[in-house]
A = this chain, B = another copy of it.
Amino acid sequence: MNIPLILRTLGLVLLCEAGAMLPSLGIALYLGENDYKAFVISIFTLTIIGFTLSRTRIISSDVGYREGFIIATASWLFLALFGSLPFMISGAIPGFIDAFFETMSGFTTTGASVITDVEVLSRSILFWRSVTHWLGGMGVIVLTLALIPSLKIAGMKLFRAEVPGPAKSKVLPRVAQTSRELYKLYLIITIAEILALKLAGLNWFDSLIHTFGSVATGGFSNYNASVGAFNNPAVEYIIIFFMFICGMNFALHFHALHGNFRPLWKDPESRLYFSVTVIAVVLIAINLITVMDYQPGTAFRQSAFQVVSILTTTGFVTADYNQWPAFSHGVLFLLMLIGGCAGSTGGGIKNVRYLILFKSASRQIARLIHPKAVIPVRLGREIVPEELVESVLSFFFLYISILLVSTLIITSMGIDLLSSISAVAATLGNIGPGFGVVGPATNFAAIPAPGKLLLSLCMLVGRLEIYTVLVVFSARLWRS
């Protein structure tokens, strides 16, 4: 285990985080907000710790999967731990567990909040809260598409074709190059949404906050009523569009931006994602029209917003869907378990895994009828390796197990079964709001402190696609 290299990387991560606090400090100073002190102290602390760690002497630059797993898990933990400093020091969120939950929710692009009234917070604090989303979203794309493709299931292939062969010495330059391209793409999408929201009538600050929330599929808003506060259909449709785009594989956008739309049209995962969205929007709209007597236009808009927001695991809301009929609850709960596409900022189980799960299941049926047939699982034209099929099948089992066991622990704190299961589904899937006491009109303040810690862990486990975190907790890793 290359501990010095891990420490050094974490030091660099903290220095980046300190740098990311600078705009918030700038806003505090520009607007004369008292919270500038919180940022000065935080930046100072982070710089000292980060600088010290980054000076760790490196004996070897060998870095394998093992180090990768630890770096990924520890980075998100460090970001959340130290990123909570401005909240605690400013008094915006005085308690450590609450501040940690909120920051983890930010960096994992979950968007679950413990703040009962966000509208009383200073702009600099609100800005920092949303910056955590934006950084987290960028981190996840780079992590899943460039850094540890071994954990990825599809998508990476698209990039691999672009860059020179698999020679070991070229891994680092390749990662650097891919990351640069992804940063550029992420930035372009971000700027496009800021401008679109500004044109639709939002001020610059609101545009920035809601852009960070949607491109990262995060969901933090600076209004208690979330996007519903604007009461502006144009804004809603713009946000629907960008949430939807950012729930798709960024590798496909990369090609599209270079004029190659073929991978986008041909991608089986995108087709499933699109179909799920259309079917869910129609089902809920019909349900709202027939049971709740909504006007068709309103029903469609509210359904589209909530469906895309939940499926992409963003968590913005324009309606209190807790008040919707049981069938709409059922559809939304199912969407919570589906999530976005691989290689996106979205969370959840992901559409491509469902493709593999369905194909493996239908292969089982075929095998019972033709016991000797050899039937490969295919994605488009490519054959999915058997180890990957089993890995995806086990992923599904682990996801459901973690969901159910965590639910059980939350119920032990006196939270009802439906609220508990939706709280875990909403954090494990990096979505944000759930049902019942953690519904869209309320927040996670009602969950006791140990529950908030568990849900923070769920966010981390979900964000890093389970295996990364489980590997780090495995005794085997540390023995070897």
Contact = CB atoms under 8 A, between A and B. Distances in A.
Interface of A: 65-66, 69, 150, 287, 291, 325-327, 329-331, 333-334, 337, 357, 360-361, 363-371, 387, 389-391, 393-398, 400-401, 404-405, 407-408, 410-412, 414-418, 420, 435, 467, 470-471, 474, 476-477, 480
Contacts of A415: 326
Contacts of A367: 387, 391
Nearest to A356: B397
B369 A471 contact: yes
Contacts of A477: 369
Contacts of A480: 369-370
A330 B411 contact: yes
B391 A65 contact: no
User: Which of A369, A391, A435, A470 has the most B CB atoms < 10 Å from its CB?
Assistant: A369
Contacts of A325: 411, 414
A182 B370 CA distance: 30
Contacts of A333: 404, 417
Contact of A334 (B395, B408, B435): B408
Given A69-B368, A360-B394, A371-B65, A330 B389 contact: no
Contact of A368 (B370, B417, B467): B467
A412 B287 CA distance: 8
26 contacts: A65-B371, A66-B369, A150-B368, A326-B411, A326-B414, A327-B412, A330-B407, A330-B417, A331-B408, A334-B404, A337-B404, A357-B397, A360-B390, A360-B393, A360-B397, A361-B394, A364-B391, A364-B395, A364-B467, A365-B476, A366-B476, A368-B471, A369-B476, A393-B397, A396-B397, A397-B397
Contacts of A389: 390
A416 to B, nearest CB: 5
